[in-house]
Amino acid sequence: MLKPILVEAAKAGAAEIVRFFNSDFKISNKEGVNNLVTEADHASEKAILAVIKAAFPEHQILAEETGEIIQDSSYKWIIDPIDGTVNFAHGIPLNCVSIGIEHNDEIVMAAVYNPHMNEFFFAEKGKGATLNDKPIRVSEQTETIKACLVTGFPYTYINMPDGPLEIFERFIRKGVPVRRLGSAAIDLCWVAAGRFDGFYEHKLEPWDSAAGYLIVEEAGGKVTDLKGDKFSVYQHKVLATNGKIHDEMVAVINNKKEL
């Protein structure tokens, strides 16, 4: 019963993304520079919540715009109605709906849907990951120096040791291609699909990572925090790789090794 409602909810949110894309809509700013929220974010979230509440009115919700709805349930839906809002606001078709389902504190099902590219990523705990219903796997790259990486930068920049710009420099000065797409959910899914070999970021929220995290793991990849320790969607730092370059990336990120 969970999967059809998850698919329906993701597609309902995506329909709002398509409806508003490249049209006139209201834009406002949250905390930090360029931390945007649009009329479409609210419309997408409203559509997603309508589907979920109709099927599972007792389930908990954690959504980027609505916040947390706490209820007496072991299930929680973690929702980003538009991951990549800045892209969306500028007419860049790299944005998506991202929904993860948590059961007893574990992510058990996930969907990420980019309607502009018609790419629907899905994963269920223990059952693998798919793109448009076809199985996907992470890449086979074994050397970070030969990898293609992706990252993101926080809108509220925090000066910190081994911060985003320092780590970015460590890779690009050695000639490693590091992309910046503007959607963490898509970044994670593209690691799962083998397009990228690794992804790291310093400041994600649960709705950014909950779905993509499971999709990477179910595609055979590895997800930890930046120190290589157990990952939780409720902490900010994430490293997701094909597993084969994970330890080396941890060492470079923590300035314990040069490429």
Q: Which domain holds residue 89?
A: 2-135
Whether 122 and 152 share a structural domain: no
Pairwise CA distance, residues 52 & 143, whole Å: 43
Out of 135, 157, 186, a domain closes at: 135
Considering the entire predicted model, what is its pTM? 0.95
Reading the chain (259 residues) residue by residue, the pLDDT tens digits are: 899 999 999 999 999 999 999 877 766 666 555 566 678 999 999 999 999 999 999 999 999 988 999 999 999 999 999 999 999 999 999 999 999 999 999 999 999 999 999 999 999 999 999 999 999 999 999 999 999 999 998 876 667 777 898 999 999 999 999 999 999 999 999 999 999 999 999 999 999 999 999 999 999 999 999 999 999 999 999 999 999 999 999 999 999 999 9
The answer to whether position 58 is within a domain reads yes
The two structure tokens encoding residue 249 = 């990336």
Q: Is the dihedral of CA 245, 249, 251, 256 positive or negative?
A: positive
C-alpha triplet 146, 148, 150: angle, nearest 5° = 145
Task: Give the residue from 252, 90, 117, 253 showing the smallest Cα distance to 185.
Answer: 117
Looking up tokens 């409806």 gives 19
The answer to whether position 259 is within a domain reads no
Name every residue whose Cβ is closer than 8 Å to that of residue 204 and which is 6 or more positions away in sequence: 152, 184, 236, 237, 238
Domains: count for the chain: 2
Task: Give the residue from 250, 212, 28 showing the smallest Cα distance to 107.
Answer: 212
Q: Which helix (H) or strand (E) holds 76?
A: strand 75-83
- Extract the runs of DSSP E, i.e. beta strands, from 104-249: 106-114, 119-124, 129-131, 134-135, 149-151, 178-179, 198-201, 222-224, 238-241
Out of 112, 135, 158, a domain closes at: 135
